[in-house]
Amino acid sequence: MRTGIVLITAGLLTAFAWSQMRDVPPGHWAYQAIRELVRLRILEGFPDGEFKPNRQVTRAEFAQAIARAYRVIEERIRASENRLDQIAPQSDATAQPSPEGRQLQELRQAAGELQQLRQAVETLQRLAQEFETELSALNLSVRDLRRDLASLEERIRSEERRTNRLRGDLTLAVFGTHSYDGRSAYTLNGLEINSTGKFLQSVGVLHELGLQVDVPINAQVEAQATVILGNYLPFTRGATRLADFIDADKTAPGVGATDFTIWEAYITAPIEVLGARVQAQVGRIPLKLTPYTLQRIEPDYYLAFERYRDRAHRADGARLSANFGGLDAQLFLVSSYGLQSNTARLFPISFANHNASVSAPADQMAGVRLGYQFRVGEFPVQLGATYLAAGVGRNRALNHINNTVRTDINRVDVLGIDLQSRANEIEVRFEYALSNLLRGSGTRAIGGRNKAFDLSASYSFSERWDAQLGYREIEPYFVAPGNWGRIGYLYNPSDLKGTYLATRYQVSEELGLRLAADFYTGAAKLPFNQGYQSRDRMRRVQLEANYRYNPRWRFHLTYENVGWEINSFALGGQRGKPEWNYLTLRAAYDLGENIEFNLLYQYIDANGKGVAFLSGGPNAAGNRAGVFATNLQYSF
């Protein structure tokens, strides 16, 4: 065996065994896998049940330990199947759904056990790769476990939907802003706060009822829909827009009339295509790919409706998904055009960054996404590729900041490649993408300075402490509808290059800390008076603290500082060191029975220091204001 391993043994089901993890040092190649199997109460040690702290284990002994872990998982899968037979016998698949009660509660417990088993199988697979020869001799295959687990997962999902076809939530919210000293500011959503606003003068009362219906039409075909009744979506207005803060309407939102909309509604069914089994989804579907190709921003930082935080666009059309011997493929054709209700602005798929924007959203979009998993030696690798083409509509202009205007563009193509791998405790991610702006004939209108790439590495120092370090570069005319970051109220900053880092430390079960920082310089891809130059600098630092005071009260404190050093003529010849500060306090109280109360207050202090373009509000001399928000949500 590589370097030998000190194996944790039979007492692993107790806290004593967990404490002995110190005998397998964090730097050991198998530390993470063993720790995870211990946590999930899967791994077993020597047959005599003794702890041997000074003994190195042979390959054969460790393979036997993995085999026993395999059998523990297998037994738990069989036990879950037997329990499921008692809850909902397979012969009773056509029975009418029972009301919410003990049956549904037990199904949810089974789903929780399933999640643990899934994690255990994935972890065991990483260990089993090292001992493939020994496990083959024992006639064991992790692939068989994955197949059995998938079957159990599908059955539990079907039973949950049959038992509880209707789910929903009711949310009541209040959002308001006010100013300090008659000054204004832009919120983190990029909206202007009324400079004359006082408490109780800029308040909006919002409400929303969401209903999700899952109907298994037969054993293979399912229908799902989410319908919404309320005035929250009209209030968010252009929530899908990226940070086109030059052309976007920044005036404070007003509370509109209650509206009804279908958030998503689709049928999922298997079909045969050229002899291959393909899963088809037709209707208003959720669509999300990678951060630099197609991913939606969070529509609202302050009220934080969970339904809208999955970063998926909703679009009308179809998607086909299939697996060909380890190659996952999906093909989609969708449209986001023609929605007439006053929630229409929430659906369009826009192409933009803070340096350039398409003035019209995509009308139609077609694309393909491929993903393949393989191994390079002992290291797992996930490789993905994305291509999408979008029509931006007839006679619509592509507007660039700094007076670069093209009016003959009607198509945007996006091509992306992404890769993810893990080596011991280090996880590496890479993504590269480009966006081509085309005329109707297929001629490139803008074919340069339109790329982006991001390379990062994450490392777990211990169970409590992990960190990520990365480098990204976003060229000025890269306008894919992805979501790669936020600086203050600026979504998807561009024309920049530099490093970013984030680290998380769990001080105790109650207290967690996180630090994130970005340090960029200008990409210098545009002329000296049109884009950030290499002597222009920008930084962002964000500190977060999460504290659980007791089982009901949780608190979240965030401080964000954003600063520039503008030394070029890129911003109309204005130079300076603009600075923005945001201080946010969130509190959440669990009222029990699926009811939660949330409260937020944010203080904003932004100052362009003479650079109007980066003033953080309408007044270049300084902008100060506050935001308060609260909501009460009941899930059923």
Of 384, 365, 364, 362, the closest CA to residue 373 belongs to: 384
CA dist., res. 86 & res. 82, Å (int): 7
DSSP structure string for 601-618: EEEEEEE-TT-GGGSSSS
Distance between CA atoms of residues 185 and 170, nearest Å: 31
Helix axes 142-163, 59-87, angle to 10 degrees: 20
Of 134, 163, 192, the residue that ends a domain is 163
Q: Does residue 436 contact residue 389 with C-beta atoms inside 8 Å?
A: no
Query: What are 281's two structure tokens?
Result: 């989804």
| CA dist., res. 285 & res. 36, Å (int) | 35
Q: Is 54 a domain residue? A: yes
Same structural domain for residues 248 and 120? no
Domain that holds residue 108: 10-163
pLDDT at 4: 34
Q: 129, 163, 197 — which closes off a domain? A: 163
Question: Residue 292 maps to which CATH number?
Answer: 2.40.160
Do 126 and 240 fall within a single domain?
A: no
Question: Are 508 and 582 in a shared domain?
Answer: yes
- Residues 458 and 481 reside in one and the same domain: yes
CA-wise closest residue to 333 among 404, 379, 391: 391
Nearest to 382 by CA among 429, 347, 349: 429
Both 131 and 204 in one domain: the answer is no
Matching residue, tokens 């100052």: 607
Give SS3 for 293.
coil
* pLDDT of the residue at 2: 35
Q: How many domains does the chain have?
A: 2
Give mean pLDDT in consecutive 10-residue pieces for the chain, a chain of 636 residues.
32 34 53 65 52 52 72 75 67 44 58 66 66 64 68 66 74 92 84 77 90 84 92 72 54 78 92 85 95 88 85 93 89 77 66 72 90 86 95 65 58 94 90 88 77 96 93 92 86 91 95 97 88 93 96 96 94 91 96 91 93 84 90 92
85 occurs within a structural domain: yes
146 and 180 together in one domain = no
Residue 212 in any domain: the answer is yes
- pLDDT tens readout for residues 534-590: 999 999 999 999 999 998 999 999 999 999 999 999 888 899 999 999 999 999 999
The tokens describing 78, both together, are: 């069989």
Asked whether residue 75 is assigned to any structural domain, the reply reads yes
Long-range contacts of 4-7 (CB under 8 A, 24+ apart): 4/56, 4/57, 5/30, 5/56, 5/57, 5/62, 6/52, 6/53, 6/54, 6/55, 6/56, 6/57, 7/45, 7/46, 7/52, 7/57, 7/61, 7/62, 7/65
Domain's final residue, options 144, 163, 182 = 163
- 273 and 142 together in one domain: no
Q: How many CB atoms lie within 10 A of CB 553?
A: 12
Q: Let me know if 443 is exposed, middle or buried by CB neighbors in 10 A (0-12, 13-18, 19+).
A: exposed
**Residue written as token pair 């930082």:** 301
- Asked whether residue 455 falls in the same domain as residue 503, the answer is yes
